[in-house]
Amino acid sequence: MEPTPTAKSPKIPGSQQEALDTVLKYLQRTVDALPKGTALDSSDAQGGSNLSCDDDFAGPGPGPTQYDVTTHVATPTNVSPTEIVANIGDVWRSWGLKVIERNEFDKPNWFAYADDGYRLQIEIAHPATYPPTLTVISPCFPGDLRDDDLARHNPGVITQSAPTN
């Protein structure tokens, strides 16, 4: 497995809401940079969830957690899943993120690492004609800030922002 890049300036979320807002910001920024008509659909995926950062945490108190949202990339009919995966990798590189392809996942795939510690990943589906899966994951934050009701927030379909003039 390839080494995971270290965040230069990690921004540990100070609340569940901050983690959710930042994850949604990365999702919105991604979809806004894609071909016209692209959307991110989490209505048929898990949406948002909290995941343990340390399976061996023995306490006291709740263990560290991270927040993620999983979506499928719905593209216009003239854009293939492999094209959109390549496009997303290029978009993330243009932001200055460290982007690598992981050997242990179906290809193409891109895992992007932001300086603030957030991770973005796009994976081709199997079969490759299905929509790719896009996930954004927060850095770990203290478990006592975890809010599972808020974490279950499912953004549904994230469409492109209206162009500004």
- 165 residues of the chain, pLDDT tens digit each: 677 888 889 999 999 999 999 999 999 999 999 999 999 999 876 778 899 998 888 888 889 999 999 999 999 888 999 999 999 999 999 999 999 999 999 899 999 999 999 999 999 998 888 999 999 999 999 999 999 888 777 888 999 998 765
* Residue 128 maps to a domain: yes
DSSP E strand boundaries for 14-148: 39-41, 47-52, 65-74, 98-100, 109-113, 119-123, 133-137
In a domain, 96, yes or no: yes
Q: What is the phi/psi pair of residue 142, to 5°? A: -55, 135
| pLDDT the model gives residue 1 | 65
Q: What is the pLDDT of residue 139?
A: 97
Question: Strand, coil or helix: what is 87?
Answer: helix
Strand bridging mode 39-41 / 157-158: antiparallel
Domain count, the chain: 1
Q: Is residue 59 part of a domain?
A: no
The pTM of the full predicted model, rounded to 2 decimals, is 0.93
Amino acid at 114: A
Do 23 and 17 form a contact (C-beta atoms < 8 A)?
Answer: no
In a domain, residue 117? The reply is yes
The predicted pLDDT at position 143 comes to 94
Output the pLDDT for position 48: 87
- d(CA 103, CA 80) in angstroms, rounded, equals 22
Q: What does the block give as tokens for 62?
A: 């709740």
The answer to whether residue 84 is domain-embedded is yes
What does the pLDDT read at residue 52? Answer: 92
Residue 77 located in a structural domain: yes
- Give the model's pLDDT for residue 54: 87
In a domain, 11, yes or no: no
Q: What is the pLDDT of residue 6?
A: 87
- Residue 9 in domain: no
Instruction: Mention every residue, 6+ apart, whose C-beta is less than 8 A from residue 12.
Output: 117, 139, 140, 141
> What's the domain range around 22?
16-53+65-145
Query: Rounded to an integer, what distance in angstroms lies between the CA atom of residue 68 and that of residue 121?
Result: 11
Give me the pLDDT at residue 162, please: 85
Which two tokens mark 148? Answer: 């599972």
| Distance from C-alpha of 80 to C-alpha of 130, rounded to nearest angstrom | 9
For residue 58, how many C-alpha atoms fall within 13 Å in the half-sphere facing its CB? 0
